[in-house]
Amino acid sequence: MSAHVKRAYRYRFCPTDAQAAELSRTFGCVRKVYNLALAARTQAWVTRQERVNYHQTSAMLTAWKKTEELAYLNEVSSVPLQQTLRHLQMAFTHFFGKRARYPRFKSRKKSRRSAEYTTSAFRFRDGALTLAKMTEPLAVVWSRPLPEGMAPSTVTVSQDAAGRWFVSLLCEDPSVQPLPATGQAVGVDVDVGLDHLLTLSTGEKITNPRHERRDRAALAKAQRNLARKARGEGANRRKARLKVAKIHARIADRRRDTLHKLTTRLVRENQTIVIEDLTVRNMVKNRKLARAISDAAWALFRGLLEYKAAWYGREVIAVDRFFPSSKLCSHCGTLQEKMPLSVRTWTCDCATTHDRDVNAAKNLLAAGLAVSACGAGVRPQRRTPGGQSATKHEPPRREP
């Protein structure tokens, strides 16, 4: 790990009318340049089998600014426009590396409204942040201090669907250092039935807050009100849409706060954390559980857990999704033939009574430690109900 970790600090701010108008123009220009460059790169590949790189799209941007049709691109800072070309280059790099799908065009209504500024396009002095093309600093609500003596290397301004404005400052944080080593290891099982958010191999069950259910009635009412509004850009429809977006934002904020606290606790207390390599996109195809699975945000939990583990010198092990953690007795290794989701407790042939989720978490922990000790791809040895032992290798892992 590098000496200093780069960490983003996110704050709310309240722009003036002039600043909001300038940023909205910038968002629009960023989206336009991204789409033009994506179209040019796609056309070059389809017609000539030619790969266009960042430097070529940068030259295209210079030419676009000289045309009468796109002359308005000169009205905003050039840095966010260059940065969006770099983002497109990174998207193609991930695509050709088979880590992501082909880049998609940005939508005016659905895509994230954001712009990234590098050091040449902003000034940060004495706690005041001023962006290029602006005369006044942003009214940032400094909810927590930046690392002492550190200045941001990039600034990203964004606006969410609820109309809230955010600024994210990327800084080196010297306070992020590996935590003292601990011998603790824990297995984490996600409850597909969703009675609990998580179950640990220690027997602890984390209550599922069900954030979406708390606001379900208010959300349904707001969505019905939105559905009654005439389609278009009318003020009444815009107000109704904003009300729906604010409820969604409140739910997402509570969910993110809960998962941040939970992942921080797991990383601080344990040296090794074993999870299951679930495919959420397949799980949500179950129409009866899709809403609850989405509300639990397993993918977000895993993402937070992995980057915090990397920061603080911990290890996260993902056990293959086909590992039968629920059907395997953690005491004797007997593998049950069937284990319906409705079965929450069961008794093995060895007379051991198991809680389904605690047993699964224990098996995940054993499998993860075996992988760590023996190498990836090996499942721990287990017995069939007839008593015969069997060792099975995992199917090839897929990139998440």
Hey, which residues are catalytic here?
189, 276, 357
At how many degrees (to 10) do helices 17-48 and 78-96 cross? Answer: 40
Rounded-to-integer distance, Cα 234 and Cα 191, Å? 44
17 phi and psi, to 5 degrees?
A: -60, -40
335 phi and psi, to 5 degrees?
A: -100, 120
Residue 359 in tokens: 């047993």
Q: What is the DSSP string of 372-399?
A: HHH-TTBPPPEE-TTS-EE--BPPPP--
Q: Of 215, 206, 188, 224, which is closest to residue 317 (Cα–Cα)?
A: 188
Kindly report the number of other CB atoms within 10 A of residue 395's CB atom: 11
Residue 329 in tokens: 């007795």
Number of H helices, E strands in the chain: 10, 15
3 DSSP 8-state letter: S
Please tell me the total number of residues recorded for the chain in this structure.
Answer: 400
Helix (H, G, I), strand (E, B) or coil at 45: helix
Rounded-to-integer distance, Cα 362 and Cα 332, Å? 12
Cβ-Cβ contacts under 8 Å for 128 (sequence gap 6 or more): 137
Rounded-to-integer distance, Cα 225 and Cα 205, Å? 38
217 phi and psi, to 5 degrees?
A: -65, -45
For tokens 């996109």, the residue is 281
Rounded-to-integer distance, Cα 356 and Cα 362, Å? 10
Say if strands 154-159 and 128-131 run parallel, antiparallel, or are unpaired.
unpaired
CA atoms within 13 A of residue 127's CA, in its CB half-sphere: 9
The residue type found at 183 is G
